Structure 1
Amino acid sequence: MKRKSFLASCLLLMSVAWSATGFAQEKLEKIIVGVAGISGPLAHAFIPKDSGLYEKYGLDVDLVFFQGGSQLIQATIAGGVNFAVTAGPEIINGRLGGSDLTIIGGYMNTLPYSIVAAKDVTKFEQLKGGKAAISKYGTTSDLAMRYALERNGLAPNKDVAIIQLGDQTTRFAGLTGGSVQATVISPPFDITARKLGFNILADMADLGLPYQHETVATTERLIKERPETVRKFMRAFIAGIHLWMTDEKRTKAILGKRLKITDQEILDETYGAYKKLTERKPYPTLKGIEFQLQDVAKRNPKAKGMKPEEFINISILKELDQSGFIDNLYKK
């Protein structure tokens, strides 16, 4: 009799434990986060995933990686993606196209690029009469190259020809092959270039250009209909930034695995470069968005007269900040 009673008690405890576990799993809200590629500037999307922070804040996140921001924007507008981690210009163009996309956080507010030149070019003035590679006209790499040249007294497409070559792997191949004399690349490619003897003419972050390089975005519709979902996501994302800032070992382990970096020096440089560029409190840069709108207006008249505030909704970010959530992370 006692044995039966003992077995019944064990079964009851197991049932309760199973129910509690099932309930905890049911409490996790399923969302889809789209990322415009796998790279250092976009790593902030998978840091919370690989460290368990999304789950900690009540989310079951599927990360979907896209080949660039255009397809990601289309998926977000269609409702197939709940949150997009992508470059600021993508959100601006999507909004100008009539969507309700909005920036809810800006975690990288300047350009992470370096201007890398041929081995025999040590000064910008030596580029005169040469060629500089970008991805495509109107992209961030195009803007970065033009800005750097103008800051150093050179007229794009007059003093230096701007050549469209595609992604940075292709651009770097053009530089090493001698078809161009300079290009725009981001970590860790700049480290590789330096190791091979190429010259870093400028670090764009040091030029002081406000620029909404990387953002977290969603739709106004989702903010209105599911504000608690946005709160959960932003808590987890901000906690991921905190992890990057305070736990070097853990962050490097995630970066090394995701970005397939085996060279310790390159891993160290990649971690340090993006730590330097990341905002602890991810408020968008209004000056940076204004700069981008001015650039977009050269090709799209709809951008003329529009204000940066029309492209952001930071109500939940402000709420979290004012509640002490961000400051308290760094007090622990």
Structure 2
Amino acid sequence: MRRWLGLALVLLLATPAGAQERHPKIRAAYSAISGAMLPAWVAKEKALFAKHGLDVELSYIAAGPKLLGALLSGELQFGVLGHQGVDAAAAGAEIVYVASGLDHLVFYLFANPVIQRVEDLRGKRVGATRPNAVSDVAARTALRMHGLEPMRDATILYVGGIPEVLAAILAGGVDAGTISPPISVKARKAGLRQIADVSGTPSIQSAVVTTKAFAARDPVATASFVRAWTEAIAVIHRDKPFTLKVIERYTRSDDPETVEETYRTMAPHFKRTPLPPVEVIQTYLRELGQQGERAKGLRVDDLVDARFVRQLEQSGFIAELYR
């Protein structure tokens, strides 16, 4: 069965897009207004989903847990989010990562200008979006890098989304908060002080997930979605003017500096061959294993299905995108 499925995928990936059978509507969602979601936006705006035989309805669901709930209920077929898929799997959900987006953080810790350094946050409040969200990981990482233990030395308050983190700092509801592009430009223009940069820290900031049941039931649709995602990454690398327009539309920003910084800080980090982030997931699983018995029984192989990207690589599809 596995050998037959592999052959079927090879044949699919070698078939011209126009000859592929079109599928019923596919629903997908992304979990943040962040440049980390760029491949999904570009795939939609460049009509790459349609090119590869899918009718994709792409929406924004402003919380990883809500997105996962919709995915597990069958309301969605694909999601773009961070490590929350691993958290869900540790709780028993049949989630699988099929492609990577950003596998490290691009986040900054901004503070009220009276705060000079991270150490000054002792006894203060730090804003993040939601518990266990990528911004929460970024906040905890920044505090620990400077010798502060989250929730003991500084309280983390959850305020909704990244724009809400900025609003909370400006309103005095928190003393600092973790912010990523494009909102980071607004933070600087508002006069906030950047006191830490955790960019580059290994973490799943964005990746494509689906359910094991859907990947098994419709490997053709899954392969097509990953194909469109992979081609979108090539567009990001090779067509900056188009990508800037996409960033402008999805972030609803008409500020050239904001759009440019989002591209500059995010675009170079999307891998041409977007294999699921095995090493990052392994590290995160070890951390979860220290917190609960369920996570100790999970293996990376339980959470990763790399065959779709592997087939694109082996077929020469990815190499052709950059010629």
Q: Give me the TM-score of the superposition, normalised by structure 2.
A: 0.86
**What's the CA shift for 1:35?**
1.2
Q: Distance in 2 between matches of 1:190 and 1:26?
A: 42
Q: Distance in 1 between matches of 2:252 and 2:294?
A: 41
**What's the CA shift for 1:194?**
1.0
Per the alignment, residue 99 of structure 1 pairs with 93
Q: Deviations over 1:105-141 (max 9, x none)?
A: 1111011211111212232222233221223333332
**What's the CA shift for 1:300?**
4.2
Verify: 1:42 aligned to 2:37, yes or no: yes
Aligned pairs for 1:99-248 within 5 A: 99-205=93-199, 208-248=200-240
Per the alignment, residue 314 of structure 1 pairs with 306
Whether the 8 Å CA contact 2:28–2:76 is kept in 1: the answer is yes
**What's the CA shift for 1:66?**
2.2
User: 185-194 or 32-41, which moves further after superposition?
Assistant: 32-41
Shift in alpha-carbon separation, 1:159–1:67, aligned structure 2, 3 A: closer
User: 167-176 or 289-298, which moves further after superposition?
Assistant: 289-298
Verify: 1:281 aligned to 2:281, yes or no: no
Q: Which AA in structure 2 matches 1:201?
A: I
Q: How many equivalent pairs are there?
A: 305
Q: Distance in 2 between matches of 1:201 and 1:276?
A: 24
Q: Which AA in structure 2 matches 1:259?
A: T
Whether the 8 Å CA contact 1:172–1:183 is kept in 2: the answer is yes
Q: Give me the TM-score of the superposition, normalised by structure 1.
A: 0.84
Q: Deviations over 1:15-64 (max 9, x none)?
A: xxxxxxxxx79943233232134512223212111112112222222223
Shift in alpha-carbon separation, 1:26–1:151, aligned structure 2, 3 A: closer
**What's the CA shift for 1:101?**
1.8
**What's the CA shift for 1:249?**
0.5
Verify: 1:72 aligned to 2:64, yes or no: no
Identical counterparts, % of pairs? 27
Q: Deviations over 1:187-242 (max 9, x none)?
A: 1111111112211122222xx42112211112223323322222221111100111
Q: Distance in 2 between matches of 1:294 and 1:121?
A: 34
Per the alignment, residue 55 of structure 2 pairs with 60
Whether the 8 Å CA contact 1:34–1:84 is kept in 2: the answer is yes
Q: Distance in 1 between matches of 2:143 and 2:20?
A: 55
Shift in alpha-carbon separation, 1:231–1:179, aligned structure 2, 3 A: closer
For the aligned residue pairs, the C-alpha RMSD in angstroms reads 2.3
Q: Deviations over 1:136-155 (max 9, x none)?
A: 33333222211111111222
Q: Distance in 2 between matches of 1:280 and 1:159?
A: 41
Whether the 8 Å CA contact 2:64–2:133 is kept in 1: the answer is no
